[in-house]
Structure 1
Amino acid sequence: MAQEDIQSLLAQKDTTKLSSFLKEQINDYKNSEMFKNYLDFVAKCPRYSSRNIRMLQKQKPNIGHVGTFTKWKEQGYHVKKGEHGYKILMQNFRNKYENGKPVLDEKGKKFKNLKDLV
């Protein structure tokens, strides 16, 4: 029903009604249980991107706190044998080459850039 309302308001080019309709829809979403659950989930893993948060939420909606194996180990927790971690997306870096030789930065180290995903 909301989609039909938006379409009709767009067709009528009534920007004031469209603006108030969208504000109402946003307020409804902000007060919804789904949004509150999302914010609770984000609080458990604040260092992750929105894409990784959605990915973690799909894997386990009631997840506790998220951390790497070494982070849990540093805090004194043990990971049981045979347990597996959750999947997240990470940036993939590679050395940059020109004319078959690695490009060096001002400190003489190999320059790294993000690997193309295509």
Structure 2
Amino acid sequence: MSYGIGERLELDTLAAFWRRSWGAPPPTDYGAVLARSLAYVIARDGDRLVGFVNVAWDGGIHAFILDTAVDPDYRRRGIATELVRRAVETARQQGVHWLHVDFELRLEGFYRACGFAPTSAGLMRLAP
């Protein structure tokens, strides 16, 4: 398994990975999303993309873990944990003071094990 930060990533490769991992097509124009990100971390098995996490950024001292995903054939091997660990270290090296993550309740144990503490936050749904 190899890991990379900000490596060249073909959008069609990411789209195919997204479909395998999320069971749906990626958001429209994900290239624009990545262009505004602080970094992204990927995992590969040879040439196959098997893991991804995006580190979104507010341009200041806050960053956000988004879209953590691992190919279904590669889950339960510690890949997501390593992706998040590398994302945390990258954010720290870039001067980020606060790293946020939102997640479904079923993922609380995973993110706590990665070092995230619970916090109060607000959320407003803007689209149906």
Higher strand share: 2
Higher helix share: 1
Band of TM-score, shorter chain:
under 0.3
* TM-score scaled by length of structure 2: 0.25
Q: Determine which structure has greater relative contact order: mean sequence separation of CA pairs < 8 Å that are 6+ residues apart, divided by chain length.
A: 2
Structure whose alpha-carbon radius of gyration is higher: 1
* TM-score scaled by length of structure 1: 0.26
